[in-house]
């Protein structure tokens, strides 16, 4: 069968397929793709919506109408700080829930914990003495809390303790007012039987201190009254001073104040009389013991003010200017300037004003000079001296100025001469005779009368001593070598070559004494040994006579004297025995017995 030719027409069934466009071919796949993407997007949006964390509740706007989960969340957040007001708020949010509430199981242990925390806060408050606050906090704890019964019991105990403590406190105050210190102290022990720290520790110690304070205050007042009964006006001043040591918050002071006022008035009257008699110093000295009181009459205030000014001036420090001196002198000047012309003390105050003003000017000058000198340099010391020398001979602070000038001159000399001593010490470190001699020459540059002259002379003496040690050490070493070889006399002769006032003289003399003692021991030991042998044989008198040959300057003299004492005691004992045995012829036979027995 032959194939159709190219020019032959196609079958009619195939002709429509050949005419379909590309857009028609891709339409259905695109539709299915759009549907797939859309459904995926919707699914992802649904998943995101389901898994999204809900927003946290605003706990500042939480109320009983809020969702229970929000209330529980806010209660947890508030209680986390354990602050009292936060714990109260947390308990208030969940306290209304009962066991049928869906969140009760989760909230119950939290409520118990918050109640326990709040009770701890209440205990702290009650131990600090804040009973009402403690009761208010403990009263917040709800009935369903497991600690509710214990809380109620604790509240009852606190109230009972407060009632007991306040009763004891009132009784003690009555005893204090009656000055019955012993009974007050005994009642105080009742507080130790309570439980809260507020009564057992705080109030116990406070009342104990009050009892001691009042007791001491009344004793001081009694002593002051005894002094005030004296006819000596100075005792009246001491009485005021003693009474013023009483604590101002004590009951004793409230009574003492009237006495102090009376005694002060007596001192003022005495001061006025002394002033009228022309005894201004006595008047001022007396009125200085009167405490300040704004209710005094103007004349009394002026006299006290004048006395206070005198006291401030008398308290000026020594030769070194102090800022406190400027302050005190300024206060004194201000005090006398307040005394008005109509005052009886005006003329006396004006007589003191001019010298004090001059003294203040001098102090300002000297204080400025002192600040300059404190920089510690040669130039600053010299400038400070120039400033101080401005104070002329007729000024009140002239002597202080001259003292400061002398002190700063001394400091200048120290700065100028210190290099000589430093150089001297540096040279001496070599440790040779030549080095020490050079060190001495350096130290001798500090002239007599200079500030460091004594220190220089001390160094010179030290270096001179070191030279002598270097020079004499071989001599002493040679003597020691001879002594070690047993040539003691030769060693002594060599050591005697070290003359007095030499550095090793004392050491040489000690060695000479030691060697001399060894020689004496060697010479006297046979004598003492022979004497001991005679005593052993019974010839006590012969032993005594032989040992007595050892002189007091000899090394064995103490040992010889001890032996002689023992032998004499032994001889006396034997003689007493013989006398008791032959009393009639003891005197006739004694020489023969002594000769035969060796006594």
When divided into structural domains, the chain yields a total of 4
Q: Say if residue 471 is in the same domain as residue 538.
A: no
Radius of gyration of the chain (CA): 56
Determine, yes or no, domain membership for 33: no
Residues 6+ apart with CB under 8 A from 408: 373, 381, 384, 385, 388
Decide which of 450, 469, 503 is a domain's last residue: 503
Give domain status of residue 561, yes or no. yes
Place of tokens 């005893």: 175
Q: Specify if 204 maps to a domain.
A: no
Q: pTM value?
A: 0.44
For 493, residues 6+ apart whose C-beta sits below 8 A from its C-beta are: none
Please check whether residues 420 and 436 belong to one and the same domain.
Answer: no
Residue-level pLDDT, tens digit, the chain, 599 residues: 344 444 444 344 434 444 555 555 566 677 676 777 777 776 666 665 555 455 555 676 666 666 767 777 787 777 777 788 778 877 877 777 777 887 777 777 887 888 888 888 888 888 888 989 899 888 888 888 888 889 898 999 999 999 999 999 999 999 988 889 899 999 989 988 888 888 989 999 999 998 999 999 999 889 999 888 887 888 888 888 888 888 888 888 888 888 888 888 888 888 888 877 878 778 778 877 877 665 566 777 777 777 778 778 877 767 788 888 888 888 889 888 888 888 887 888 888 888 899 988 988 989 899 999 999 899 999 999 999 998 888 888 888 899 999 999 999 999 999 999 999 999 989 888 899 999 999 999 999 989 889 999 999 998 898 888 888 889 889 989 988 888 888 888 888 888 888 888 888 889 988 888 888 888 888 988 988 898 888 888 898 898 888 888 888 889 889 999 999 998 888 888 888 876 554 444 444 333 333 33
**What tokens appear for 514 in the block?**
């030691």
Q: What angle do CA 175, 180, 183 make, to 5 degrees?
A: 80
Distance separating alpha carbons of residues 599 and 590, to the nearest angstrom: 10
**Residue 392 and residue 306 share a domain:** yes
User: How far, in Å, CA of 473 to CA of 226, rounded?
Assistant: 77
For residue 343, give Cα distances in angstroms to 297, 348, 384.
11, 10, 43
Range of the domain at 76: 65-146
Burial of 27 (0-12, 13-18, 19+ CB in 10 A): exposed
Backbone angles phi, psi at 500, to 5 degrees: -60, 155
Assess if residue 420 is contained within a domain: yes
Quick one: CA torsion of 582, 586, 591, 593, rounded to 10 degrees?
0
Q: Which residues contact 471 (CB under 8 A, 6 or more apart)?
A: 433
User: Quick one: which of 186, 265, 189, 175 has its CA closest to 218?
Assistant: 175
Q: Which of 289, 284, 298 shows the shortest CA–CA distance to 260?
A: 289
Based on the fold, state whether residues 397 and 300 are members of the same structural domain.
yes
453-489 b/e with 16+ CB inside 10 Å = b?
eebbeebbebbbebbbeeebeebbeebeebbeeeebe
Asked if 469 and 541 sit in the same domain, the reply is no
Indicate if 400 and 301 belong to the same structural domain: yes
Q: How deeply is 196 buried, as exposed, middle or buried, from its count of CB atoms within 10 A (0-12, 13-18, 19+)?
A: buried
Q: 322 in helix, strand or coil?
A: coil
Encoding tokens for residue 59?
């706990």
Residues 372 and 437 in one domain: no
In terms of domains, do 569 and 451 share one?
Answer: no
In a domain, 239, yes or no: no
Task: With CA atoms as reference, report the closest residue to 144 among 113, 110, 108.
Answer: 108
Rounded CA gap, 30 and 37, in Å?
Answer: 11
Cα separation values, 298 from 261, 303, 305, 335, 529, Å: 16, 9, 10, 14, 102
Kindly state whether residues 463 and 476 are assigned to the same domain: yes
Whether residue 232 is contained in a domain is answered as no
CA distance linking residue 222 with residue 217, whole number of Å: 9
């Amino acid at each position: 069968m032959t194939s159709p030719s190219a020019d032959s027409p196609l079958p009619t069934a195939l002709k429509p397929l050949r005419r379909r466009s590309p857009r028609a071919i891709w339409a259905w796949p695109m539709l299915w793709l759009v549907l797939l993407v859309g459904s995926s997007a919707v699914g992802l949006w649904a998943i995101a919506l389901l898994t999204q964390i809900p927003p946290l509740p605003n706990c500042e706007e939480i109320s009983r109408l809020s969702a229970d989960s929000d209330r529980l969340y806010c209660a947890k957040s508030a209680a986390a700080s354990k602050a009292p007001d936060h714990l109260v708020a947390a308990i208030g949010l969940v306290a209304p829930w009962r066991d049928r509430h869906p969140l009760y199981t989760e909230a119950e242990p939290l409520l118990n914990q918050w109640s326990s925390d709040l009770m701890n806060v209440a205990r702290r408050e009650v131990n600090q003495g804040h009973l009402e606050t403690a009761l208010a906090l403990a009263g917040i704890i709800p009935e369903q809390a497991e600690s509710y019964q214990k809380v109620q019991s604790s509240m009852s105990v606190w109230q009972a303790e407060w009632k007991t403590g306040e009763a004891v406190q009132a009784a003690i105050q009555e005893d204090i007012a009656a000055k019955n210190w012993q009974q007050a102290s005994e009642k105080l022990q009742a507080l130790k039987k309570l439980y809260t720290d507020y009564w057992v520790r705080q109030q116990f110690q406070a009342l104990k201190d009050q009892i001691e304070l009042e007791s001491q205050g009344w004793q001081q007042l009694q002593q002051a009254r005894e002094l005030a009964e004296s006819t000596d006006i100075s005792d009246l001043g001491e009485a005021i001073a003693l009474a013023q040591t009483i604590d101002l918050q004590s009951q004793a002071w409230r009574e003492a104040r009237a006495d102090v006022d009376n005694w002060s008035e007596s001192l003022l009257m005495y001061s006025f009389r002394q002033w009228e008699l022309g005894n201004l110093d006595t008047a001022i000295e007396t009125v200085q013991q009167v405490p300040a009181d704004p209710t005094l009459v103007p004349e009394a205030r002026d006299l006290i003010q004048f006395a206070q000014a005198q006291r401030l001036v008398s308290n000026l420090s020594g030769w070194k200017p102090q800022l406190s001196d400027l302050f005190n002198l300024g206060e004194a000047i201000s005090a006398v300037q307040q005394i008005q012309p109509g005052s009886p003390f005006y003329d006396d105050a004006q007589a003191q004003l001019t010298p004090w003003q001059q003294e203040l000017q001098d102090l300002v000058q000297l204080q400025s000079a002192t600040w300059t000198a404190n920089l510690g340099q040669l130039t600053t010391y010299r400038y400070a001296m120039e400033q101080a020398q401005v104070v002329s001979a007729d000024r009140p602070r002239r002597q202080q100025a001259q003292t400061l000038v002398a002190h700063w001159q001394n400091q200048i000399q120290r700065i100028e001469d210190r290099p000589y001593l430093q150089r001297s010490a540096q040279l001496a470190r070599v440790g040779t005779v030549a080095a020490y001699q050079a060190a001495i020459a350096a130290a001798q540059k500090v002239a007599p009368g200079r500030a460091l002259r004594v220190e220089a002379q001390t160094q010179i003496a030290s270096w001179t001593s070191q030279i002598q040690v270097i020079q004499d050490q071989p001599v002493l070493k040679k003597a020691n070598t001879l002594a070690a070889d047993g040539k003691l006399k030769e060693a002594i002769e060599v050591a005697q070559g070290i003359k007095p006032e030499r550095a090793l003289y004392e050491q040489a003399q000690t060695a000479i004494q030691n060697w001399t003692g060894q020689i004496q021991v060697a010479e006297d030991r046979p004598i003492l040994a022979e004497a001991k042998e005679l005593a052993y044989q019974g010839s006590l008198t012969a032993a005594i006579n032989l040992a007595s040959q050892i002189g007091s300057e000899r090394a064995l003299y103490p040992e010889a004297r001890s032996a002689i004492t023992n032998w004499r005691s032994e001889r006396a004992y034997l003689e007493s025995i013989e006398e008791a045995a032959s009393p009639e012829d003891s005197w006739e036979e004694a020489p023969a017995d002594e000769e035969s027995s060796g006594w």
